[in-house]
Each structure stands twice: as structure tokens, then as C-alpha cells.
């Protein structure tokens, strides 16, 4: 038996923040990061909260949020005891907020106390993770990235407002946009793909293909921002109902060990995983066909797709290999046993169309390091 789950409610467009006025909020706990506060982006939300609402802001979230940060935020949230929790930011603040709510519930269950119901609103300020519509949260613990999955972490409401993305620097647009493409593509070729997820994933890829480079070149143009933002959300819906794959498993551990942004790690890894996933060749060819990708050479659909992705990365100045980001070979080789162990344990690996043994994983990792 298969299933398709739709949550949360999604409000999108220029005036979408106004929906907050419709909620009878008494106490609001906001989870975000320092940059959102410093750039005064948080004021966009504070300005639509009623004056009588009591607000507490937790802005200590860092990129790749740690267990320690989540624990600190959870304690502050429990002490404040809000009826509403709002996460504002990229994937890190939203994932951190999910972690706080998740562990609060787990602790309450363990000690036999009732679990407080808090209304959870997620407001993404980048277009990449799709975290506002997924039941996943990625948390850092030392060199590891732990991916949690629980439907309790799904927000009640997601607000997609393009005004938050107007000041994103080009490298963030590039990294997060390629993260969207990875989400949609892995969902489309996943072993858990379905007639419900496939069209959503495919439409997300079309939106990225038609709008990401334009958004990268013209970040002030609202139509490109909106389309990329919508693509991110759609990809999140798709993979939340199917699964991801080993592209993400590798990106999780590579990002954690070598301090690469998640989107950049995914973008570097992507062409090699497409090439290695031979069981999904027909799906990759279908993607190339649907995206109307043309090649000057006599390439198969899958080969043309790989070439197209490499060209997108080149346009957005994304490195082609881990060697290109300055990682030393000896350091990389020493981490291979850890990487293989973590890739095999990652929850994304099981959805990958091909299964790879340790020897094959070593060869794939070395390809990603050296490039083709």
C-alpha cells in the first residue's frame, strides 16, 4: 500500500504575510538566525502581528544547526510556552524549529506529561530546502548530519513570500536552486515514486530549468523569484511523499565533514550520481525530453541531461569537484571510511534506484573528488 499526504496549508504571493492577521495569536515564539534580525527581515513578520501579542525571539540558529542549539531553543520555548511558533529563515532555522518541537514532544512522552499543541508556521527566506512542507529535519552532531523524519514536524501553515528573497546574493541563489533541482530529480527517480509525486516533481524541475538562471542574473525580478520559490515548495511536497536518494546521503556527510553548504554539496555530487544510477536511465531520459534539453552532440537523453546540469553549474560558478573547493586528497581519503558508514546509515539511501556496495561507493566518492 502507498500513500500521499498533503500538509500544510500554503499561502503564497506578495501579500501572503497578511494571513497571519487572521490568527488569534496570544504568545509567539520566533525561531530564526542573526542575519534575519540584522537585515530587519524579521520586521516583515513583527509588523503583521497584533500589538498585544507577546513575542520572544530565538535568533541563535547557525547554518547546519547543532543538537546544542536545538536544546537551548527548546528550553526557551518551553519556558515561554507559546501558542504559536514561527520559523523564519532558510532551511537551518526551519529545521532547528522542527527539532525543538520534535524533541519537546519526545520528552513529554517519556515522562508521561501531556504534549502542548503549538501552531507551527514556517516562512522560508530562501528557495532550496522545501523544509516548510516536509516532515524532515537535518541536524548536525559533530561530523555527522542526522536526518530526522516524523509527520509531527510538518508545519500547520507555510507562507511563501517573494519579498524575503530580493536581497539574496548570487551564490546563495545558485546553491539553493540546485538543491531544489536535486530534490525534484531524486523524487522523480526514487524507488518510492508514484503517480501523485511524479507530476509535481516534474513541474518543479521545469520551473527551475526555466527560471533559476534568470533569477541568478536578475534577483530583483519578482516573477523569477516567485517561480523558483514555488518550485522549491513543490519539490518538497514531492520528496516528502516519495523519498530522496544517495545524492543527498553523500551531500549530508560531505557537507558536515568539509563544511560545504548543503545546496553546493548536492550540486557538485549530482552529475556523478545521475551517471551511476543506471536503473533510472529511462526516467532521466524522460526528464531531458520534458525539459526540452537539446545537445549539440549525439548524446542519449541522460547524457544530455548531465551536460545540461554541468552547463548550469558553470554559468553559476559552482565547482565541478570536491578537489576544486580546496579539499586536500589525503584529508579526503582519510574520511572515506566515515563517509561510507554514514552514507549507508542515511535515511535517504534506501530510496535510491541503484544499490551500491562499499567498493562502488569508494569509486563514486573518488569521482566526486577528482571530477571527470
User: What pTM was computed for the model?
Assistant: 0.91
Q: Where are the domains of the chain?
A: 9-165, 170-370
170-370: same fold as 9-165? no
Phi, psi torsion values for 159, nearest 5 degrees:
-120, 115
Spatial distance between the Cα atoms of 95 and 316, rounded to a whole number of angstroms: 26
- Average pLDDT for residues 97-101, to the nearest whole number? 94
Residue 151 is predicted with a pLDDT of: 82
User: Cell digits for 140?
Assistant: 548536525
**pLDDT confidence band for 10 (50 / 70 / 90):** very high
Q: What is the CATH number of domain 170-370?
A: 1.20.1090.10
Indicate whether 18 pLDDT > 80. yes
User: Any idea what DSSP says for residue 114?
Assistant: P
- Average pLDDT for residues 138-155, to the nearest whole number? 80
Spatial distance between the Cα atoms of 8 and 240, rounded to a whole number of angstroms: 12
- Average pLDDT for residues 293-314, to the nearest whole number? 89
Residue 274 is predicted with a pLDDT of: 98
Report, at the CATH architecture level, how domain 9-165 is classified.
3-Layer(aba) Sandwich (3.40)
Residue 1 is predicted with a pLDDT of: 66
Across the chain, what does the average pLDDT equal? 93
Question: Could you tell me which residues come within 8 angstroms of residue 158 by beta carbon, excluding any fewer than 6 positions away?
Answer: 8, 9, 10, 11, 121, 122, 123, 124, 132, 133, 233
**pLDDT confidence band for 7 (50 / 70 / 90):** confident
Report the range out of 10-19, 55-64, 180-189, 219-228 with the highest average pLDDT: 180-189
What does 23-85 look like in DSSP terms, one character per residue?
S--SEEEEEEEHHHHHTTTTHHHHTTS-TT-EEEEEEEE-SS-BHHHHHHHHHHHHHH--SEE
Any idea which of 121-130, 181-190, 318-327, 356-365 has the lowest mean pLDDT? 121-130
Amino acid at each position: 500500500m502507498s500513500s500521499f499526504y498533503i500538509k500544510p496549508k500554503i499561502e503564497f504571493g506578495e501579500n501572503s504575510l497578511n494571513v497571519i492577521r487572521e490568527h488569534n495569536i496570544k504568545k509567539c515564539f520566533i525561531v530564526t538566525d542573526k542575519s534575519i534580525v540584522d537585515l530587519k527581515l524579521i520586521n516583515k513578520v513583527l509588523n503583521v502581528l497584533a500589538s498585544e501579542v507577546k513575542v520572544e525571539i530565538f535568533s541563535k540558529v547557525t547554518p547546519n544547526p547543532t543538537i546544542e542549539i536545538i536544546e537551548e531553543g527548546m528550553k526557551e520555548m518551553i519556558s515561554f510556552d507559546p501558542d504559536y511558533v514561527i520559523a523564519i529563515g532558510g532551511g537551518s532555522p526551519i529545521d532547528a524549529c522542527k527539532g525543538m518541537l520534535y524533541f519537546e514532544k519526545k520528552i513529554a512522552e517519556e515522562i508521561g506529561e501531556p504534549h502542548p499543541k503549538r501552531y507551527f508556521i514556517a516562512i522560508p527566506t530562501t528557495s532550496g530546502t522545501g523544509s516548510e512542507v516536509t516532515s524532515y529535519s537535518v541536524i548536525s552532531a559533530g561530523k555527522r548530519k542526522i536526518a530526522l523524519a516524523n509527520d509531527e514536524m510538518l508545519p500547520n501553515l507555510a507562507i511563501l513570500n517573494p519579498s524575503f528573497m530580493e536581497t539574496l546574493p548570487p551564490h546563495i541563489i545558485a546553491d539553493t536552486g540546485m538543491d531544489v533541482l536535486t530534490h525534484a530529480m531524486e523524487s522523480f527517480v526514487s524507488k518510492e515514486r508514484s503517480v501523485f509525486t511524479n507530476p509535481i516533481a516534474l513541474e518543479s524541475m521545469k520551473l527551475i530549468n526555466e527560471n533559476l538562471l534568470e533569477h541568478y542574473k536578475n534577483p530583483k525580478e519578482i516573477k523569477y523569484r516567485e517561480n523558483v520559490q514555488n518550485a522549491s515548495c513543490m519539490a518538497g511536497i514531492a520528496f516528502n511523499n516519495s523519498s530522496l536518494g544517495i545524492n543527498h546521503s553523500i551531500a549530508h556527510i560531505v557537507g558536515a565533514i568539509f563544511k560545504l553548504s548543503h545546496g553546493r554539496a548536492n550540486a557538485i555530487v549530482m552529475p556523478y550520481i545521475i551517471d551511476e544510477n543506471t536503473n533510472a536511465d529511462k526516467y532521466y531520459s524522460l526528464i531531458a525530453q520534458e525539459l526540452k534539453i537539446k545537445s549539440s552532440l549525439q548524446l542519449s537523453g541522460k547524457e544530455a541531461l548531465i551536460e545540461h546540469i554541468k552547463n548550469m553549474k558553470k554559468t553559476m560558478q559552482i565547482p565541478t569537484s570536491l578537489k576544486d573547493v580546496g579539499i586536500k586528497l589525503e584529508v579526503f581519503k582519510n574520511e572515506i571510511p566515515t563517509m561510507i558508514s554514514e552514507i549507508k546509515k542515511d535515511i535517504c539511501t534506501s530510496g535510491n534506484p541503484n544499490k551500491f556496495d562499499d567498493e562502488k561507493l569508494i569509486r563514486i566518492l573518488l569521482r566526486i573528488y577528482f571530477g571527470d
